[in-house]
Structure 1
Amino acid sequence: MIKFNKFKLENGLEIYHVPVNPGSKVISVDVFYKVGSRNEVMGKSGIAHMLEHLNFKSTKNLRAGEFDEIVKGFGGVNNASTGFDYTHYFIKASNENLDKTLGLFAELMKNLSLKDKEFQPEREVVHEERRWRTDNNPMGY
């Protein structure tokens, strides 16, 4: 059984701390939102996936692309995925960058900017991913 610590902040945010390898200098900060494709209305699919993509665009304090540049600048990697009942974001980096990593996620949570000029180009990317993963999948999901 995996041992973990669980905390719940006053704002409802749940934090799970899972020690993986005490000697490792690498951390993975994962953020899960309890929303995915199951929360979409029939005929309006792809909204959760679209928001996943837009989360890495601009915020009040970061221009589009700057989030990724900062993560790469301190040697980290980041990505995201959307599932049936969750949306998952992560940053893997050295443990000395924990504060920066948490600060970046806080910036997304608090100051995300949804701009049409960033939305429109991303639509085709999400459509292509859907064609590749869903529409061409014999299981259809």
Structure 2
Amino acid sequence: MTTLNVNGRLQAVSSGDDTPILWVLRDELGMTGTKFGCGMAMCGACTVHLDGSPIRSCITPTSAAAGLAVTTIEAMHADRVGQVVQKAWEELGVAQCGYCQAGQIMAAVGLLKATPRPSEQQIDEAMSGNICRCGTYPRIRAAVKLASGRLPGAAQ
């Protein structure tokens, strides 16, 4: 039995230490907001934060989260930056099919917490590992810029 800190709550999980965090979240904890896309850390659909930094949960073993905070899309409603990003996403109608959006939002929140006023190049670099099969990249970039303009200059 392993204990993980997920969204500020300690959770006992029985999966092995080598089980990817993605499957612990989805299968054991019933947190299906984080999506499986490729299983090779190439699409970003599985993006969560580990101690505030975006990671690919499909390849990150549970053992890597020991003693650290795992934050998922389910916690973004209670995160000030997450709220601003989600509002911008809604206002600009970013989502089309929506499958990649949890990972996109988690990447955007990670960027804005590290760099509250990113340049277009910084946005493109931070978001480049997240694939949107519907091609909503211009709306994603616009939503990140909108959210950035609504945040104070200091990291959260």
Q: If the length of structure 2 is used for normalisation, what is the TM-score?
A: 0.27
Say which structure is richer in strand.
Answer: 1
Is the radius of gyration larger for structure 1 or structure 2?
A: 1
Q: If the length of structure 1 is used for normalisation, what is the TM-score?
A: 0.29
